[in-house]
Each structure stands twice: as structure tokens, then as C-alpha cells.
Amino acid sequence: KLENFRVPFIGWNMSLNRYIPVRRGDKQSVSEMMRSCAEALDEGSSVMIFPEGTRSKTGRLRQFKLGAFELATTTRRPILPIIIRGTAQALPADGFCISSNPIELEVLPPMLPEEFEGMEPCNVMDKTRRIFAEALGEEEDAPLINS
């Protein structure tokens, strides 16, 4: 998000690493971000998008936002689901105080464009969220968490 670019050192690092800013709730900013992501993909870069849009305070899976899946379907690029565990304990969403806690990454099998050919972005989003929920051991029909 755009506000993070103003944080000393962190914002500078984000700029150097070619992070793409977005102003939440601003349709023009979101459109520019999507265009920048598509250009980065065309240039051969990978684009990492956190489909929940923000961190979960509880560590439970939150609702997904549609943008990443619109990007994947329009550019016909694969989706590589990655589960990150332990961030809620290591860096709580409501602060900058880092605590000692292991962080685990689990790289799930890629979803190739052929697997979601002709699907609407919302259906690709739902399919991906089910994959995440299964990997996390969360029930698919459990209520979506927004915290």
C-alpha cells in the first residue's frame, strides 16, 4: 500500500526493490497498479500479490480480493500459491515490534493458465482460496474471517 512507501528505510527499500504502490479504495490507483503488474510480467519479472490484501490478526485465512485473479486470467500467467505461517506471532498486524518466532513458507503446486482457461476471475479466486484453506487445515465452509 502507498502509505508504506513513506515509512523511513522500509519505503526506500520498497522503491529499490520495485514494489508497485497502490492507494486502497482508489479505483484509478488500483487500475495503475494492475497495469504496472502486467508490464512487470511482460518484462519477465514475477509479481507477488497477497490475495487477502492485509495480514490476519488471528492467523486464520481471510477473504480474498479479486485483483490477483483478474491479473492472472487476463495475462494468462500461472498462480503459485505460497502459505506463510508464523507472521501473526512474529510481527503482529497492529505494531512494528518483531518477536522471535519461526516463519514457515510452504510452496504449493502451481496453477497453470490451462487449469483456469475460460474461468471467471471470481471462480479462480474461489478455487485458489479452497487450495489455501485445505493446506491450512481450515474448513472450506467455515465463515470467512475479516480480522
The conformation of residue 66, written as its DSSP 8-state character, comes to S
State the pLDDT confidence band at 139, using cuts at 50, 70 and 90: confident
Task: Give tens-digit pLDDT for 18-63.
Answer: 888 888 888 998 999 999 999 999 999 999 999 998 877 777 889 9
The pLDDT value given to residue 112: 98
The pLDDT value given to residue 73: 97
The pLDDT value given to residue 146: 47
Interacting residues of 47 by C-beta distance below 8 A, sequence separation 6+: 20, 37, 40, 41, 71
Mean pLDDT in residue range 66-92: 90
CA gap 28, 112 in Å, rounded: 29
Interacting residues of 17 by C-beta distance below 8 A, sequence separation 6+: none
* pTM of the model as a whole: 0.82
